[in-house]
Chain A
Amino acid sequence: MSEVTSVVFAGLGGQGVLTASDIFADVVFEAGVDVKKSEIHGMSQRGGSVTTEVRFGDCVLSPMVPPGEADFLVVLESSQIENNQWTLKKGGVLLEPGMIDSARLENKKALNVAMLGLLSAKLDFAADVWSRVIAARVPERLREVNAAAFKLGAES
């Protein structure tokens, strides 16, 4: 059975959870690895809890992470840790905003990209793929801010 890695992203509507998982899925895709990304739209835009799931490996089947089987849980808002903890497998890795030095985060809205920096340090995707995908996904005027946020996360 081939290995599949599962990552759950969680936060609140408006925090950029969907963007973070889109960037990550693109990075995996660009690296030539099979990937599936799943999310729930709709009410999510109205400030409620949002989760998205990215799975990658040689051959990904279900787009949904089975409960309690996520390898990584990336949470953008500390209030959302408790209600998402159940998605992690035993020994799975929780990445949460407390791990980022918020004083050094120039633009608070770039927290999602800083969290991707944290995640990148745990995985084997090339730095240039990350920077290329992030640059393509964020508005031009925010490229530098996001590049800095990613670096901050990667070095945290």
Chain B
Amino acid sequence: MADNNRSLLSGNEAVARAALDAGVALGVGYPGTPSTEILETFAACGGKAQWSPNEKVALEVGIGVAFGGARALVTMKHVGVNVAADPLFTVAYSGCPGGLVIVTADDPGMASSQNEQDNRHYARAAGVPMFEPSDSQEAYDFTFAALALAEDFQTPVFLRLTTRICHSKTIVRRRAERRPENQAAFVRDVKSYVMIPAYARPAHVRMRARLAEIAHVSETSTVNRVDDGRPELGIITSGVAYMHAREACPSARILKLGLTYPLPIEKIRAFAESVDRCVVVEEGDPILVSDARSAGIAVEGKDEMYRFGELNVARVRRIIAGNTAPEPRPPAGKPPALCQGCPHRIAFQALKELDAIVSGDIGCYTLGVMPPFQSIDTCVCMGASIGVGLGLRHVLPAQQAKKVVSVIGDSTFIHSGLTGIAEMVYNPPRTGHVVVILDNATTAMTGLQEHPGTGRALNHEPARKMVLEDVIRAMGVEDVQVFNPHKEKDHVKTLFAEAMEREGLTVFIMRSPCVLAAKKIHQYDTANAAAAGE
């Protein structure tokens, strides 16, 4: 029998479908692997979605939506939560009447990230409840559950996905009926929404009381359930690790946690007492095991070696067996490289020939560290190229300082490079500084997303275009040079060398579209021009 509500969806697609079916008024975020497809899918199936310049702004917009009583879905990769942490910790105090769900897409194993931070820590640090689905069906169901919990308790809620949940396709059955959007209205509540110390002190107390109530929900909720099995081995687990554990230990009794903060401590205690041996199987940091032990529950954890990278069925078998022998390493594949014809290649060739000290950033161009260029010397986080480059300039001897160049992409520059320019203008190093913006007119690394500098919105329709050179000049940089790297190919090295020698502040904008995006950009612009002409 055909079932029109059943389909094969990635976790990201499932969250997007749920957001649509659950009446989310606005989806907002910044692209980041493995989270990017959530908002793209949400927009493609009829939801209202938009890219913000960065995750902090995205969360703030989401907070506004929820203060207005509507439902908001805010999406980002794990490191994006670092950027959004400032509003996060305070909206956890305020609370909000509309459902505010923040998707954190973690990347254990670092398939496409600079670290493998475990964002379950943020739930505890900020006091924000967290759901963790184990497949796409749960990604769909838990999006509903998270929105409902958020509105029941007027608190933001995390939905924590990991790479394998985001990008694995599993079968999902959707609900037959769509929930209408909330009627948005602002109801003044100064003591909740204005976090001056006098109001924030009681708000913190209220937040802790709220979490205590949600802990009761966690104890009784069916998302924290026991899969019956033999009592010789009990496993406590969550997320995709649950799937690995069930496969690795088919006869074990398993406590599967879906609402993982606040934890159902009494349920965990009773479970541990019901089995002969109780092992916590968790991907990433030893968080569940520490929480259980600090509540006085005797559980086994995993060896430290399994803290690193993703888990899989084989690793779970080893954890259960207490096997700490070195693991076989799969043979290395072919590493990625900058595409043939990529305009970034021209910049890195020149920087290599100049033996520049390159303070790099996050994007495709980080591949400048790979052969044949090997011309990136530092890469920390989004926007860090400028600040780190300035720091180096301040302390290095002049001859070396003059060789420091910051390299950053267009989307990353808007995300968090603007404040770096403010710093550069405000506290210029004695030797000046050189910033190179590799403007390929897209957010290439994450799959060609729009940003405020492309002149198109998330759905590729026209938007006001932010002109980088105008902004940078207005911020006080006098020497801003814009050119097409393909056209100036033979002069790039000379231009860089002159700027490095001049000891002033120079920003180069090397503008040429990404070779993967050029055709699409042309199609969007043609379609938009045709629509404007009608």
Contacts and interface: CB of A to CB of B under 8 A. Distances in A.
A40 interface: yes
B2 to A, nearest CB: 10
B252 to A, nearest CB: 12
B337 A62 contact: no
B254 to A, nearest CB: 11
Interface stretch (B140-148, B164-172, B209-217, B371-379): B164-172
Interface in A1-51: 1, 12-13, 22, 25-26, 29, 34-49, 51
A111 B445 CA distance: 26
Given A36-B169, A63-B243, A48 B333 contact: yes
Contacts of A48: 333-337
A128 to B, nearest CB: 15
A51 B167 CA distance: 13
Nearest to A30: B8
B331 A41 contact: no
A37 B34 contact: no
B164 A61 contact: no
B247 interface: yes
Interface string B230-254: 0000000000100110110010000
B312 A62 contact: yes
B376 to A, nearest CB: 15
Of residues B169, B171, B240, B314, which shows the largest number of chain A Cβ atoms within 10 Å of its Cβ?
B169
A2 to B, nearest CB: 10
Contacts of A43: 111-112, 336, 367
B33 interface: yes
B247 A61 contact: yes
B447 A45 contact: yes
Interface stretch (A75-83, A91-99, A119-127): A75-83
Contacts, number: 115
A40 B334 contact: no
A1 B333 CA distance: 33
Nearest to A85: B331
A21 to B, nearest CB: 9
B196 interface: no
Given A34-B171, A62-B312, A42 B333 contact: no
Contact of B168 (A12, A29, A63, A79): A63
A66 B246 CA distance: 13
A64 B336 contact: no
Interface string B158-181: 000001100111110000000000
Given A1-B250, A35-B171, A36-B168, A42 B111 contact: yes
Interface in B316-359: 328, 330-339
B518 to A, nearest CB: 15
B167 A39 contact: yes
B336 A61 contact: no
B33 A41 contact: yes
A67 interface: yes
Contacts of A62: 240, 243-244, 247, 312-313
B168 A42 contact: no
Contacts of B336: 13, 43-48
Of residues B34, B112, B333, which shows the largest number of chain A Cβ atoms within 10 Å of its Cβ?
B333
Contact of B112 (A41, A66, A67, A79): A41
A49 B8 contact: no
A142 to B, nearest CB: 16
A36 B244 CA distance: 13
Given A26-B8, A29-B8, A34-B171, A42 B243 contact: no
Interface string B443-463: 001110000000000000000
B312 A40 contact: no
Interface in B191-244: 240, 243-244
B364 interface: yes
Interface residues of A, number: 38
Given A29-B8, A45-B447, A63-B164, A83 B331 contact: yes
B295 interface: no
A98 B205 CA distance: 68
B111 A41 contact: yes
A12 B167 contact: no
A29 B171 CA distance: 8
A12 B334 CA distance: 8
Contacts of B337: 46-48
Given A36-B168, A64-B312, A82 B334 contact: no
B312 A66 contact: yes
B170 A63 contact: yes
B34 to A, nearest CB: 6
Contacts of A46: 336-339, 364, 367
Interface in A104-141: none
Contacts of B7: 29
B516 interface: yes
Nearest to A4: B247
Contacts of B332: 83
A133 to B, nearest CB: 11
A38 B516 contact: no
Contact of B333 (A61, A63, A69, A80): A80
Interface of B: 7-8, 33-34, 111-112, 135, 163-164, 167-171, 240, 243-244, 246-247, 250, 310, 312-314, 328, 330-339, 364, 367, 445-447, 516
Nearest first, the 10 closest Cβ-Cβ pairs linking A and B are A42-B112, A49-B333, A48-B336, A46-B336, A63-B168, A61-B247, A66-B313, A43-B336, A83-B331, A37-B169
Given A42-B112, A48-B337, A61-B247, 16 more contacts: A25-B169, A29-B7, A40-B163, A42-B445, A42-B446, A43-B112, A48-B335, A49-B334, A61-B244, A62-B243, A62-B312, A64-B244, A64-B313, A66-B314, A80-B333, A86-B331
26 contacts: A1-B250, A26-B8, A29-B7, A29-B171, A35-B170, A36-B168, A36-B169, A36-B170, A37-B168, A38-B164, A40-B111, A42-B112, A46-B338, A46-B367, A47-B336, A47-B339, A48-B337, A51-B333, A61-B243, A61-B246, A62-B312, A63-B135, A64-B164, A66-B247, A66-B314, A84-B333
